[in-house]
Structure 1
């Protein structure tokens, strides 16, 4: 993909730098996402009592996390643990040099002028279902106003019974 014209070495060099930085950004983003997900998984497994079944690198990261909890807050300790895991993943995925700091995520736009405090979604109660009569269950939906309404099955059955009785009465 890196093609340069003869005598145009400066442009070729800038293309190589731009492509390298773009690929390292992609690697960094993937490594960061994987590190955050893995740390959360390891922490949950450790809380559920499966610490011994975790891989060695996970046990090492969690032991460091627990040691730091005595000296600092949970958020700071978690940030450092994720950063260590991120750096290891970045180099494993082919990143060169020091793992770049992730780009800060922009906060989502506030709804109705309120400031966004966290990313928790409000629970919305489902709408109450419409009350249906027992006779209407399984029936066809009601047609728009002005259209013919279907004849109930009981009325059809009663009419057929009346026809049979009338036929027998008239044929005797």
Structure 2
């Protein structure tokens, strides 16, 4: 359990330190973090970026393992399974939309009067009242 926590913390801390270094904020990091970033830069001159990252995370992991009370050499902890995952998980499917209603439901609804027809009827009623009240 100590090894897993140390590995998780090492990966998270190194990612944070690396991002701060890219944003020119490495001077605000603790001295230990700056030492690890210096080691990372020396690893970059000797190997590729992914190899340098793995080597530096391994150094940070060993340091954290000792700080957390781990005894002896830290065990190898894998970041994740290398085998393809085959579980019984189904893909999310969006439920069918309930809106707009199908055409059969629209055919059963009462037809609405157009706005122009309603306005014409109201105008006729108004003119009718004005004409007959005089």
Q: Following TM superposition, by how much is the alpha carbon of 1:37 offset from its aligned partner in structure 2, in angstroms?
A: 1.9
In the alignment, what sits opposite 2:106?
145
Q: Matched residues in 2 for 1:30 and 1:90: separation? A: 8
Aligned residue for 1:102, secondary structure, equals: coil
RMSD: 2.8
Q: Matched residues in 2 for 1:101 and 1:164: separation? A: 90
1:170 aligns with 2:132: yes
Q: TM-score under structure 2 normalisation?
A: 0.69
Match among 30, 33, 40 for residue 8 of structure 2: 33
**In structure 2, do the counterparts of structure 1 residues 30 and 142 end up closer, same or farther at CA, with 3 Å as the change threshold?**
same
Q: Matched residues in 2 for 1:156 and 1:80: separation? A: 79
In the alignment, what sits opposite 1:77?
52
**In structure 2, do the counterparts of structure 1 residues 37 and 155 end up closer, same or farther at CA, with 3 Å as the change threshold?**
farther
Q: Following TM superposition, by how much is the alpha carbon of 1:89 offset from its aligned partner in structure 2, in angstroms?
A: 2.2
CA deviations on 1:100-136 (whole Å, 9 max, x unpaired) are 21135234459xxxxxxxxxxxxxxxxxxxxxxxxxx
Q: Following TM superposition, by how much is the alpha carbon of 1:82 offset from its aligned partner in structure 2, in angstroms?
A: 0.3
Aligned length: 118
In the alignment, what sits opposite 1:106?
82
- Going by fraction, where is helix more abundant, 1 or 2? 2
Q: Following TM superposition, by how much is the alpha carbon of 1:75 offset from its aligned partner in structure 2, in angstroms?
A: 1.9
